[in-house]
Amino acid sequence: MPPKWGARTASGVTARDLALRMYERRLPIGLGALAVVSAALGWWGYHSWRTSQEEAAQVLMTKALTGLEASLKGTEGGKASEASSGRLEEAQTILLQIRKEYSSSKAAEQALLQLGNIFYQKADHEKALQAYQEHLEQYPGGSWVILAGVGKGYTLEAQGRYEDAAAIFRTLGERYKDSSLSIEALLGLARSLGHLERRPEAVELYRRIADDYAGTSWGRRAEELMGAVER
């Protein structure tokens, strides 16, 4: 229940005193209220702008991914057609646009990963490695970090840097052992060990994969690779 007009509160200030003080300070109070309203409108405007930025970036991302899918379908016998190469270049341009114009969007994270994949597909391993490494540094807790790590491992492997590739694959396999993608890292590690002539370790790892994933395509692949190493 509010205090009576002349009754004093515990602080010794009556309701009338408070009303008079508020009247005397009507200008700063009004400005304060205006500042609160302005801040609320500013937040709403910023939120609306961020939403529109995300939506625009996602539209471009969808277009880029559609082009990438069409490019992959157009690849026959490991050789890309002219149309397929054109779609790949177009997708790359769109992804670079996302990185430049919508750098703070969620789509920018995926765009960097896809750029790494495109460079890897084009055998431009230095640019692929740069993109994957940049992704790992910029988005260490992101949704695509394990894929960026696997991509980096594949690129190092393609460059013949098997020691570095094995180190990456081993770290990924241990750090993301609960992820369904950890099998990619384990297979990469086993391949790298095989290239390094560390065949007993490679065979042991392939055998473990074959046992843990028996009856799956992963298990069958591990058995095939294990047989190749043992020969």
Task: Give pLDDT tens digits for 145-189.
Answer: 999 999 999 999 999 999 999 999 999 999 998 888 899 999 999
Neighbouring-strand partners of residue 14? 8
Per-residue confidence (pLDDT) for residue 87, from 0 to 100:
87
CB atoms within 10 A of CB 93: 11
Over range 6-28, report the average pLDDT.
49
Q: What number of residues does the chain have? A: 231
| Choice among 22-26, 45-49, 50-54, 147-151 with the minimum mean pLDDT | 22-26
Summary mean pLDDT of the chain: 81
Question: Alpha-carbon distance 117 to 103, whole Å?
Answer: 19
Over range 31-45, report the average pLDDT.
51
Report the share of the chain in percent with pLDDT over 70. Answer: 75
Helix axes 26-73, 15-24, angle to 10 degrees: 70
Whether 33 has a pLDDT exceeding 70, the answer reads: no
Backbone angles phi, psi at 30, to 5 degrees: -65, -40
Whether 135 has a pLDDT exceeding 70, the answer reads: yes
Whether 133 has a pLDDT exceeding 70, the answer reads: yes
Per-residue confidence (pLDDT) for residue 69, from 0 to 100:
82
